[in-house]
Amino acid sequence: MNNGARVSLPVIKRLPKYYRYLKNLRASGVTSISSRELAAHLGTTASQVRQDFNCFGDVNGRQGIGYSVDTLLAMLESLLFGDGDLIPAIQIGAGRLGKAVSRFISRDTNGYRLTAVFDANPSEVGTCIGDTDIKILNIDTLVDFCKEHKPRVAVLCVPRESAQQLTETLVGLGIEGFWNFSHYDMSVDYPHVVVENVHLGDSLMSLGYRLRNEDR
């Protein structure tokens, strides 16, 4: 099976959508589905569905039956979650957004294990995130923690300026990927790291454009 190294980003972005929909199908007792049915529910074409799956090996549906839901889910779980080992992650920032994000990661891991949250606010340091046992640590302890625990991913819930100051340190400490809410596009300065940028404002503006300009 292709490891996804040469697969285009749009295809990768569609994999979680396939995964969520197929999980719901299996929970409903559905055992097979055609590319046309998948395309209709995911807003694409049957040809695109087949092309997406063919990126990862010889994945073919059966004539008149379609794809096996279990087979597709097994493939997607292997691609998205590997061998099941959770990726160790840390988070910088424990404000309102940070708390919401960390609770999400802790509740629904999606392949990650949140090991610590860091903040500079003395009133936050030493408290736990929600009902978890994950403590908020002083940002001054970040370097020592990373050297000891070796996280691979950093979640950034801090302003752009803080993220810009921290990124070089984090990359130097072995961070390989960022889930980035900071609006600092670190992929420009650090092209070798994997960055998933999350722009909540961009999403709202896109929604506004579509409401104002698209025919419905």
CB 155 within 8 A of CB 115: no
- pLDDT, residue 64, reads 62
- pLDDT, residue 126, reads 94
* Selected residue with higher pLDDT from 58 and 13: 13
What gap in Å lies between CA 108 and CA 110, rounded to an integer?
Answer: 6
Residue 4 pLDDT grade (very low, low, confident, very high; cuts 50, 70, 90): very low
Give the strand pairing for 153-156 and 87-92. parallel
Please give the distance of CA 120 from its chain centroid, rounded to a whole number. Answer: 25
Read off the tokens for 151. Answer: 């996280």
What gap in Å lies between CA 102 and CA 39, rounded to an integer?
Answer: 33
Read off the tokens for 67. Answer: 């794809």
Segment 29-47 shows an average pLDDT of 93
Summary mean pLDDT of the chain: 90
Segment 39-59 shows an average pLDDT of 89
CB 79 within 8 A of CB 14: no
| % of residues, the chain, pLDDT over 90 | 68
Segment 26-43 shows an average pLDDT of 93
Q: Is 115 helix (H, G, I), strand (E, B) or coil?
A: strand
- pLDDT, residue 61, reads 62
pTM of the entire predicted model:
0.87
* Selected residue with higher pLDDT from 31 and 63: 31
Q: What is the pLDDT of residues 127-185, one digit of tens each?
A: 998 878 888 999 999 999 999 999 999 999 999 999 999 999 999 999 999 999 998 88
Q: What is the pLDDT of residues 54-97, one digit of tens each?
A: 888 777 666 667 899 999 999 999 999 988 889 999 999 999 99
